[in-house]
Amino acid sequence: MRGFWYMLEAVMAGVIIIGFMIAVGAMLSFSPDEKGVSEKGYQELQRLADESKLRLYASQRNYSAIEDSVRIPGYADSVEICEPSGSCVGNVPSGEEVWLSTYIVSGYSSYDPVKVKLYLRRKE
């Protein structure tokens, strides 16, 4: 009779472990593809740099022109331009599930580097 209780205890432990693994797997499968969205944002900033728009707009601190040039379907974007001293101009979104892509460019006519931050969030 003692063997029966040990076997029942082992089966219950297995059910609990398998249930826990299924729950963790379900949570991981519903998490957003953070790397993919950030990568899309970086590629978009790189496209603007290749078209020679990003450096010009960043040196002028014209974040709205960068926002108008970004084309990522299904996502709303905000841009912030930061200087090495830490002062920034632009829009920082609020809310949950916001992805950030960063691109550093030098100035247009002088060195003067700036960091362009592209914030992406899903359109609702």
Whole-number average pLDDT of the chain: 86
- For the chain, which residues make up each domain, given as ranges? 1-31, 37-122
What is the assigned CATH class of domain 37-122?
alpha beta
Residue from 72, 48, 73, 43 nearest 58 by CA: 48
Q: Phi/psi of residue 98, each to 5°?
A: -115, 125
Report the predicted TM-score, pTM, of the whole model to 2 decimal places: 0.68
Is residue 93 pLDDT above 90, yes or no?
no
- Per-residue confidence (pLDDT) for residue 17, from 0 to 100: 95
